[in-house]
Structure 1
């Protein structure tokens, strides 16, 4: 996602809607109890799995996500560059949604657009009123648009990253009531050095928070007002390598805040940190066992939704027909096949479909399961001399037995899963030196090796 360095227009971008943005809504609405994530997708080689439309995923806990519409886009821009990056969902004061996004398809960093994409939606199932909104006349792009409600103005503040007369990236703001017309741009935050990817949490115990990317690190500023120029940096940085796209999310069940970040290589990896006190400005990295990102997802935005909206989105768009399996003791790694050998490798996997599995009724016993490859659907994961490999189903009873496993409570964590061999019932699927095999399990290390999270 890194642009032409001579322009220094874009080092990454972020989008989110924290719970705090919905506070102060005048009308009565059902309480939010779930989350929706928006994003675009990029594979590591910008090939299969790359799409610059609006993608959605949902979650009940804000950490583990179910992609909708088979991880395909739900809507795609029809103006400008005909693609988007850095989408953002805001629940407006009337309970409906507005979607904003950068006007760019792919990685043509020389493309300059003063516009952002805009959609309206009552339910995130249908999208209406699509248009592009012009924000300025400067010869610079409008990156990573987000919005918040400014009660003192009775308008929404629309913030975005751009290079203004200062010669470096700053965060700009325009004010709008309808996302059709907007005020003249103003500098919202300029500490004197490059800052991009602004993300807001408004009205939290008397403070308003702005997180942004500074020197490949996620940093926070705060203010008791929402006035442009009033924010002061205060937090320690959070990063995992080069990190961008800060996204603040408030837990719906506790006082915990999460800060999501995205590495800015193609098919970036999401990392998350947590804090029990946003005013402290310090963050602790979350164990990757606790969260997953939608496959190929880039630059997410997260908003809260109701249980009814969560259920309606799942019913309308559908959950994926495939799964991914995350390793318990190596949670950056997922089960995949490579040269027809079963193994666990770090996300992102290329080609990404090597890590997608259709879990079907067991070939030898329908109360068990078999793992059918998504990109080689005639092949199944089976054991041969105790090693797991991807073979064509030859229709024999031996193959069916070798390819059938019983799903059990995870040997290292009962909330996860383990898989016991059908025809070698003392043996479980486990990894050893990252290669999959079936073994008897007798140690705590082996129990961890044999435990997986079945998700997306």
Structure 2
């Protein structure tokens, strides 16, 4: 059995994806009880991207889709679908809301990069009929204070017949609080007022509205890097009180709540920046209890380099239309089964599994092309070095230039099989050494005979994005 210790990495941002079940409502956000529906409903995620050395950083709106809210397919080759033309020329912390009329509004922090001195009273806003185009770009002012408007989210407040935009800002208290501004059209908004102030630095509010008559908001205690839950029987500013213990993995922010209609399970997602930009998920059978247990990382794969995301349920037609409009990646990433925080990559032209994220991030992208020696098999072409392929040499996988020989073609060809440790995953059998499979040993990829349950786990992988 493998005993390799897993390790963490550099920082992401707040609020990533959700998961498991939501309707295609003509109202309300995914965290809202009435927005939940049957299992299998597709989802769209909006996000921006950052990587440890900023080789993959892009401050436009990116989209990904999923059929289960867990495994995500980036659209447009993981490039932005729209980028702000005003303000600071970039965005962070996007949020997509399906409005009461069934169309969408996208909003985001007016901030590019990590220069936190770029404070703005405004947020970016677009209208969109179907997320295939983004129209009526504008900056929306939320307050008159000399400070920021970060991490906007929105929900429909039926008691006011208005949308509430909640966001992080500093008011007269001198620390971050959750503010709220109200709007009917996202063209103008009321001057911000304090929505939630627990007496310490609080950011990143995410709502679940109307759950058995109670409204829940999870947020980050920015002083401790922990997530907390609060609740209220109304949506009135000042009515929420914290009621849970803390949830975190390292320093965690950007909480997202979602309920699985299939099982009734609640999921809480957190975007960590310590350790090093990993998204984690927790689950609970009872939102009112406020207790959470970790979800296995094998069950979810966020888009490459994604940061501080937002998820909304969509119809199957909308899903199909988004894929048609923006296209799916020409590359894959390959995740380890027994170390699901690690992905295939090459370092100094040696194949290995390393903790995500890293730069150059393209070293973990592979084009799975027809096998060089047998087109029913597969060969792994590097995105970073398109003339190079993974091949075995002395049983170790190396990234070498295809010299056109039959020997190279044989060494670089593998057959996909059902995963040796999990038949829903994948294993790769060598073309010219059919008793050997690709596995990791001391994090290095090689081909070996598989004779133990530990080796079966080492030889099992997930091919995704």
Question: TM-score w.r.t. structure 1 length?
Answer: 0.94
Could you tell me which residue of structure 1 aligns to residue 43 of structure 2? 35
After TM superposition, list the pairs within 5 Å mapping 1:250-289 onto structure 2.
250-264=259-273, 268-289=277-298
**Bigger RCO (CA 8 Å, 6+ sep):** 2
Selected match of 1:444 from 423, 446, 453? 453
1:185 aligns with 2:192: yes
Deviation at 1:208, TM superposition (A): 0.8
Could you tell me which residue of structure 1 aligns to residue 368 of structure 2? 359
Deviation at 1:312, TM superposition (A): 1.3
Which structure 1 residue ranges, 5 or more long, are not aligned? 1-10
1:302 aligns with 2:282: no
Cα distance, 1:290–1:31 mapped onto 2, change above 3 Å: closer
Deviation at 1:391, TM superposition (A): 0.3
Contact residue 322 and residue 357 of structure 1 kept, 8 A: yes
Could you tell me which residue of structure 1 aligns to residue 131 of structure 2? 124
RMSD: 2.1
**SS of alignment partner, residue 80 of structure 2:** coil
Deviation at 1:307, TM superposition (A): 1.3
Could you tell me which residue of structure 1 aligns to residue 15 of structure 2? 14
After TM superposition, list the pairs within 5 Å mapping 1:203-242 onto structure 2.
203-214=210-221, 215-242=224-251
Cα distance, 1:164–1:235 mapped onto 2, change above 3 Å: same
Deviation at 1:23, TM superposition (A): 6.5
What do the CA deviations read for 1:334-381 (whole angstroms, capped 9, x no partner)?
011000001100001221011000000000000000000001000000
Contact residue 344 and residue 435 of structure 1 kept, 8 A: yes
Selected match of 2:113 from 70, 85, 106? 106
After TM superposition, list the pairs within 5 Å mapping 1:5-404 onto structure 2.
13-14=14-15, 25=27, 33-46=41-54, 48-214=55-221, 215-264=224-273, 268-404=277-413
Distance in 2 (alpha carbons) for counterparts of 1:256 and 1:197:
22
**SS of alignment partner, residue 350 of structure 1:** coil
Distance in 2 (alpha carbons) for counterparts of 1:367 and 1:154:
59
Indicate the larger mover: 421-430 or 284-293: 284-293
Distance in 1 (alpha carbons) for counterparts of 2:103 and 2:219:
26
Contact residue 16 and residue 89 of structure 1 kept, 8 A: no
Cα distance, 1:182–1:16 mapped onto 2, change above 3 Å: farther
Contact residue 427 and residue 459 of structure 2 kept, 8 A: yes
Distance in 1 (alpha carbons) for counterparts of 2:436 and 2:290:
48
Deviation at 1:17, TM superposition (A): 8.2
Distance in 1 (alpha carbons) for counterparts of 2:348 and 2:206:
42
Cα distance, 1:35–1:252 mapped onto 2, change above 3 Å: farther
Distance in 2 (alpha carbons) for counterparts of 1:202 and 1:392:
56
Selected match of 1:414 from 419, 423, 428? 423
Indicate the larger mover: 299-308 or 110-119: 299-308
**SS of alignment partner, residue 258 of structure 2:** strand
What do the CA deviations read for 1:106-139 (whole angstroms, capped 9, x no partner)?
1111111000000111111111111010011111
Distance in 1 (alpha carbons) for counterparts of 2:98 and 2:406:
55
Indicate the larger mover: 247-256 or 90-99: 247-256
Indicate the larger mover: 104-113 or 142-151: 104-113
Equivalent pairs, count:
444
Deviation at 1:14, TM superposition (A): 3.0
Cα distance, 1:20–1:416 mapped onto 2, change above 3 Å: closer
Deviation at 1:308, TM superposition (A): 1.3
Distance in 2 (alpha carbons) for counterparts of 1:20 and 1:417:
29
**SS of alignment partner, residue 187 of structure 1:** strand
Cα distance, 1:418–1:114 mapped onto 2, change above 3 Å: same
Deviation at 1:13, TM superposition (A): 3.8
Contact residue 273 and residue 286 of structure 1 kept, 8 A: yes
**SS of alignment partner, residue 288 of structure 2:** helix
What do the CA deviations read for 1:52-92 (whole angstroms, capped 9, x no partner)?
00011111111111111100000000000000000001111
Cα distance, 1:308–1:449 mapped onto 2, change above 3 Å: same
Cα distance, 1:24–1:405 mapped onto 2, change above 3 Å: closer
Contact residue 154 and residue 163 of structure 2 kept, 8 A: yes
Could you tell me which residue of structure 1 aligns to residue 6 of structure 2? none
Which structure 2 residue ranges, 5 or more long, are not aligned? 1-11, 29-33
